[in-house]
Chains A and B, each alone.
Chain A
């Protein structure tokens, strides 16, 4: 319950901050009510309200009784955001100083710890939807150079493709550990078996119990995989996986919960009548996120300290 609240607060914060940044949202603007969001995210309204309260504490939103939830006004927002940033930065730089890194040197040290090496990662999966989703996150959040590799194409070829041979790191999900592990061992490459945030799937499972759920994908192989993932869920017959470009999307009744992969979202026309669920803020589990950062930082720090 608690972690669910934090996850939702994370997702909302990211959405609000990037909305402000991109100009899609304005300071002082009214936001969706807890009830509306609850429906949209398939969560308990009380959890949504608790998440909003977290953001209120941070000075990002304002809850006005009997009136609604508002994005904080510009001036107040500067203060709220400042307070958050201030507290975070004080702790961060205090730790740096205590570790013998003078505050003025810290930004440069951090930059070098991230950017000394250009690290290449081969993202190995069985369908373009997931390869795209993982690759996008590996690139934007972790700053890695990513090549997507189709696991079956890799297994069929006589020797691993160049993208795999040149990679500093291999990444796959547990579905393909047994196929990728031998290749990682043979090439002596580190392998991270990524755990994905299961929230998205858990949400779909919850909503299946209430009625039909639509899931739109690009790759028919991912459609099949989704069918398998949800085969044991209650109401699995209510899961309709549609392949973009093959299946008729007009059959989706208005107001039905719709999930889209990132690739579909990108290809969807701007004025699509669909109202998709909120995409998750992040793809990898906290444990995987930690593994990725550890790999990146150790590689860079090692390169920096090598004579």
Chain B
């Protein structure tokens, strides 16, 4: 229940952020009622109300009795983030004490779980967009050196590329898990099959019935994959996927919601589009992030204790 509540809070928070960003909703504008959201998400109205109250506490929205739910005025929604972060860190320090770690020792203790050992991962995927975004996130959020390899380039029976020898971890998505599993077995390396952060897809799925939604990708193969993902969504015909370099970006209307993969964002460099498109925020789902962290921390703790011996 608690988990459900935090998930729903996150979904609603993202909706407000992306809605504001895209101009679909306005400051002081009305948001769907507790009842409406409950019906849409198939959740208990009390859970939705609790989630809305959390967002109210963050200064993002306002609950007006007998009137409805509203996006907060702009000056309060950009409230100082300091108190929220401080409160979270307080919890972190208290947890630390419960584990017998004094605050001053905590940074080192966390560091030990992260950089006692250098890890190298190989990402197996079938398109440039994901071969860019997945390794980038492994590096940025988890400090794991990662290289992308096109899975189709690994022909059965051919020699194993050097980069795969001595690799600490293989990462792929559900689409390629069969081939990846065989390779992992062959190499004797652990494999993590990641799932993507669904906020983006939920949001797109919600927007599609309302009108065209644009995606700018770099690899036509990723375009096909996306079409595939949304083919059973309501309003799937509204999904417009443009491939950088071959399609004309000028056809995107000024106020249409537009998404950009990380690779496209990097390649676009300077474009007025960059100012209004939604960044692909995080790639991994929480579950995948948890798996990666678990691998990372286990390996580091083992290395740290064998160093000590």
**A43 beta carbon closer than 8 Å to chain B:** no
Let me know if A89 and B113 touch, CB within 8 A: yes
Which of B90, B106, B293, B305 interacts with A103 by CB under 8 Å? Answer: B293
How close is B80's CB to chain A, nearest CB, in angstroms? 8
B114 touches A104 (CB 8 A): yes
Please report the C-alpha to C-alpha distance between residue A13 and residue B111 in the assembled complex, in whole angstroms. Answer: 23
Known: A78-B305, A104-B114, A106-B110. A141 touches B102 (CB 8 A): yes
Query: CA A93 – CA B143 in complex, angstroms?
Result: 12
Name the distance in Å between A34's Cβ and chain B's nearest Cβ. Answer: 21
**A90-B88 contact given A13-B100, A103-B143, CB 8 Å threshold:** no
Q: How far is the CB of B56 from chain A (nearest CB, A)?
A: 19
Q: How far is the CB of B110 from chain A (nearest CB, A)?
A: 5
From B103, B282, B293, A90 is in contact (CB under 8 Å) with: B293
Which residues of the partner chain A approach B301 to less than 8 Å between Cβ atoms? 82, 85-86
Nearest A residue to B104 via CB reads A143
Task: Return the CB mask of A273-307 against B: 1 if under 8 Å, else 0.
Answer: 00000000010001001100110011001100100
Interchain CB contact under 8 A, B85 and A114: no
Contacts A104-B114, A107-B114, A143-B104 given; indicate if A297 touches B86 (C-beta within 8 A). Answer: yes
Q: Are B90 and A92 in contact (CB under 8 A)?
A: no
What chain A residues lie within 8 Å of B90 (beta carbons)?
290, 293-294, 297
Indicate whether A14 reaches chain B with its CB closer than 8 angstroms: yes
Contact B104 A110 (CB under 8 A): no
B286 in contact with A93 (CB, 8 Å): no
User: Does A132 lie at the interface of the complex (its beta carbon under 8 Å from any beta carbon of B)?
Assistant: no
- What is the CA–CA distance of A14 and B77 in the complex, to the nearest angstrom? 43
Q: How far is the CA of A103 from the CA of B114 in the complex (A)?
A: 8
Q: A78-104: contact bitstring with B at CB < 8 Å (1 yes, 0 no)?
A: 100010111011101111011100111
Q: How many angstroms from the CA of A210 to the CA of B294 in the assembled complex?
A: 51
Contact B97 A141 (CB under 8 A): yes
Q: Assuming A89-B110, A110-B92, A290-B94, is B143 touching A104 (CB within 8 A)?
A: yes
Q: Is residue A230 contacting chain B, with contact meaning CB distance below 8 A?
A: no
| B298 is an interface residue with CB less than 8 A from chain A | yes
CA distance A111 to B89 in the complex (A): 11
Instruction: Give the chain B neighbours of A305 by CB distance below 8 A.
Output: 80, 82
Contacts of A302 in B (CB 8 A): 82
Q: Is B289 an interface residue, CB under 8 A from the partner?
A: yes
Q: A113 contacts the other chain (Cβ, under 8 Å)?
A: yes
Point out the residues of chain B lying under 8 angstroms from A282, CB to CB.
97
A215 interface hit (Cβ, 8 Å):
no
Specify which chain B residues have a CB less than 8 angstroms from the CB of A140 in the assembled complex.
Answer: 102
Chain A residues in 8 Å Cβ range of B80: 305
Residues of chain A from 4 to 49 with CB closer than 8 A to chain B in the complex? 10, 13-14, 17-18
How distant is B65 from chain A, measured CB to nearest CB, in Å? 30
CB neighbours of A82 from chain B (8 A): 298, 301-302, 305
Determine whether the beta carbon of B100 is less than 8 Å from that of A298. no
Contacts of B157 in A (CB 8 A): none
* Inter-subunit contact B107/A17 (CB<8 Å): no
**A88 and B95 in contact, given A94-B290, A99-B88 (Cβ under 8 angstroms):** yes
Q: Which residues of B, 7-36, contact A by the 8 Å Cβ criterion? A: 10
Q: Decide if A270 is an interface residue (CB 8 Å cutoff).
A: no
CA–CA, A302 to B89, complex, Å?
14
Does B140 sit at the interface, judged by CB under 8 A?
Answer: yes
CA distance A111 to B110 in the complex (A): 11
B290 touches A111 (CB 8 A): no
Cα separation A98 to B84 with both chains bound (whole Å): 14
When C-beta atoms are compared, the residue in chain B nearest to A88 turns out to be: B99
Complex CA gap A218/B302 in Å reads 47
CB of B62 to closest CB in A, whole Å: 23
Question: Contacts A85-B99, A301-B82 hold; do A107 and B294 have CB atoms under 8 A apart?
Answer: no
From B102, B108, B298, give the contact of A107 (CB < 8 A).
B108
Q: Chain A residues near B108: list those with CB within 8 A.
A: 107
Beyond A78-B305, A110-B107, A111-B107, whether A289 also contacts B97 by CB under 8 A is yes
Q: Identify which of B82, B97, B296, B298 contacts A298 (C-beta below 8 A).
A: B82
Measured between beta carbons, the chain B residues less than 8 angstroms from A108 are 107
Interface contact B286-A98, CB-CB below 8 Å: yes
Q: Can you name 18 A-B pairs with beta carbons within 8 Å? A: A10-B98, A78-B305, A82-B302, A84-B99, A86-B297, A86-B298, A86-B301, A93-B113, A93-B293, A102-B143, A103-B114, A106-B110, A106-B114, A107-B114, A110-B92, A110-B107, A294-B87, A298-B82
Query: Hey, which bits of chain A sit against chain B, CB under 8 A?
Result: 10, 13-14, 17-18, 78, 82, 84-86, 88-90, 92-95, 97-99, 102-104, 106-108, 110-111, 113-115, 140-143, 282, 286, 289-290, 293-294, 297-298, 301-302, 305
Q: Which B residues have a C-beta under 8 Å from some C-beta of A?
A: 10, 80, 82-83, 85-90, 92-95, 97-100, 102-104, 106-111, 113-115, 140-143, 282, 286, 289-290, 293-294, 296-298, 301-302, 305
9 interchain residue pairs of minimum CB distance? A104-B143, A107-B107, A107-B111, A111-B107, A297-B86, A293-B90, A17-B100, A107-B110, A102-B141
